[in-house]
Amino acid sequence: MLLTRIKGPRDLDRLSQEELDQLAAEIRSFLVDAVSKTGGHLGPNLGVVELTIALHRVFDSPKDKVLFDTGHQSYVHKLLTGRQDFGNLRSKGGLSGYPSRAESDHDVIENSHASTVLGWADGIAKANEVLGREDHHVAAVIGDGALTGGMAWEALNNIAAAKDRPLVIVVNDNERSYGPTIGGLANHLATLRTTDGYERFLARGKDLLERTPVVGKPLYETLHGAKKGLKDFIAPQGMFEDLGLKYIGPIDGHDIEALESALQRAKRFSGPVIVHCLTQKGRGYTPALEHEADRFHAVGVIHPDTGLPVATDAASWTSVFADEMVKLGHERPDIVGITAAMLHPVGLKKFADAFPDRIFDVGIAEQHGATSAAGLATGGAHPVFAVYATFLNRAFDQVLMDVALHKCGVTFVLDRAGVTGTDGASHNGMWDMSIMQVVPGLRLAAPRDAEQLRAQLREAVAVKDAPTVVRYSKGVVGPAVPAVGRIGGMDVLREPGSDVTRPDVLLVSVGALAPMCLDIATLLDKQGITTTVVDPRWVKPVDEALPPLAERHRVVVTVEDNGRTGGVGSAVSQALRDAGIDVPLRDFGIPQRFLDHASRKEVMAEIGLTAPDIARQVTGLVAKLDGRYDSERAAAVD
């Protein structure tokens, strides 16, 4: 196999055109086989095989910087830079599903949040200029979907201002982000794609000129790269050139020779150039091409021949939300849905099918989505903006200044909250409850099970004068966790016997960690430590009944699937101080560090967010309060 002989990008230099085509076929076969066993981003990588080969033939990575926006399409890049062990892809100790500086000097951007690559490219190109590195180049690959993000256009505005600073922008145009790309830019790119006159002209010209001795091919390339006059007459690519950016394309993104020619011309140019490549997401794999929803953007473990899942998932948090949104839509004509280019992943597809006039896909533009939601609320609608928890970070200013300041009734539904695991540091939803704590008037719910998700979503959309947030985990929703009582607005999940006058521990359980907190209480009970377990349901603001309840216990413990700094534990601690209640409090949550990719269970174990770990520490704390710390007693909870 050719692929096994590729240890680095320069190994590509000696391959013939025929061998390059063979390599592309081998890479596609490898990806289908490997990703079907581990899960991962399959469709996007199948679409960029030839493009990635051409990039590494033309540019000299890592001296030249080849940058990928979002990075989910970097699997081919990994294969060509010496990383061909995909056996533990996205698993602990294995390759990351995104670029990783720890893996290779060829990887630059790790954050895997879309629309950032052009800002990175602008900065690196400026550094090359300042430091006199004239032989260093920058090539930034950005999908057409990521160009719906405002950051991309802020960067383009700056890039275009420096007409003599070299920078190659490769637009990977497959008409999709997760699903089909939407918006004015998508329409413009579609116009470029479908301007047949230009392509027919070039096809006829290429055939004629390539038969012309000596001058034919150079003349064809000159015509193909022409900027004003001829090309403006045939294809409306003027939007990019009006920004001051030279434009090459559209190029067949699966023709290595054409790609290399375009990239070489762009590389030689002394200023910023856009190379517009047309690719096909899921190329070469029939099940992906036939999957209209997202062309296998991301898959779990599948049968490689059929593309069907190996196991059928149980009901997920997302599916529970999806069904309840449809019910709410039938009951309330004012409810509308908003998504940031993730209609399927966040569960709004059913709502869109039922109410096509009440769904708005803003593209990868969370900031705009939040402010538009404020406008919708001001106009009398109640928007439900469903977004991954990690991506709400990007819209903080808009939540604060546009939604909260104006007391707009907007509900933010945060999917993939807490530890998500396999997608790595940038996808863990571990900041939302900390960030949202500082927003005046905002109310935040963390449902513990499907029943509570349905109930709290309804409570959230009933609020008309403030932003509300409902957050839940990734994956399968667990069994129902019944309440045994109610104190204030809090559900009591477990209480000690009636003969206990002052229980040892008040355990405040947040969201989906309720089953684990009940396990902690069971372990503590075996050590003779009495425990009350409560679920606040709404963790912001802190329930008024919590401080007096805490005063009736010897110690308060909070457990949350969120960063410890500024999280629910911090809010509870402040509420106790404000109430003048001097009860020791210990907060358990996610440490404020970036967590490596692994399964959720493995990450939780690594950070000590498990029932035995927490019970052991609480046992030690109670023992200290008794003045009789016994290490053997603390260890017994194992």
Q: Which of 366, 443, 471, 494 is catalytic?
A: 366
* H helix runs in 304-463, sequence order: 317-331, 349-354, 366-378, 389-392, 396-398, 432-437, 450-461
In angstroms, rounded to a whole number, what is the distance separating the alpha carbons of residues 156 and 160? 6
Strand 411-415 vs strand 468-471: parallel, antiparallel, or unpaired? parallel
Q: Cβ(9)–Cβ(81) under 8 Å?
A: yes
In angstroms, rounded to a whole number, what is the distance separating the alpha carbons of residues 523 and 521? 5
Q: Return the half-sphere exposure (C-beta side, CA atoms, 13 A cut-off) of residue 253.
A: 27
Query: Mapping DSSP to helix (H, G, I), strand (E, B) and coil, where does residue 509 land?
Result: strand
**Of the candidates 75, 29, 77, 42, the residue with the CA atom closest to the CA atom of residue 57:** 77
**Of the candidates 140, 87, 125, the residue with the CA atom closest to the CA atom of residue 277:** 140
In angstroms, rounded to a whole number, what is the distance separating the alpha carbons of residues 91 and 605? 14
Beta-carbon count within 10 A of 108 CB: 21
Q: Which of 176, 231, 281, 540 is catalytic?
A: 281
Q: Which of 394, 474, 537, 564 is catalytic?
A: 394
CA of 48: how far to CAs of 45, 192, 507, 536, in Å?
A: 5, 20, 50, 47
Beta-carbon count within 10 A of 61 CB: 23
| Nearest-5° Cα angle at 529, 528 to 533 | 135
Burial of residue 455 (CB within 10 Å: 0-12, 13-18, 19+) is: middle
Q: Cβ(80)–Cβ(9) under 8 Å?
A: yes
In angstroms, rounded to a whole number, what is the distance separating the alpha carbons of residues 61 and 537? 51
User: 143: which strand partners?
Assistant: 172
In angstroms, rounded to a whole number, what is the distance separating the alpha carbons of residues 68 and 89? 18
User: 172: which strand partners?
Assistant: 143, 277
Structure tokens at 362: 């803003």
CA of 396: how far to CAs of 23, 157, 267, 366, 367, in Å?
A: 45, 23, 38, 9, 8
Please identify which residue in the block is written with the tokens 């709502």.
351
**292 has catalytic annotation:** no
**602 has catalytic annotation:** no
In angstroms, rounded to a whole number, what is the distance separating the alpha carbons of residues 372 and 386? 13
Q: Cβ(386)–Cβ(349) under 8 Å?
A: no
Q: What is the DSSP letter of 115?
A: T
Q: What proportions of the chain, in percent to the nearest 5, are helix, strand and coil?
A: 45, 15, 40
In angstroms, rounded to a whole number, what is the distance separating the alpha carbons of residues 322 and 396? 25
Q: Cβ(380)–Cβ(435) under 8 Å?
A: no
**26 has catalytic annotation:** no
* H helix runs in 69-173, sequence order: 75-80, 117-130, 150-161
State the catalytic residues: 281, 366, 394
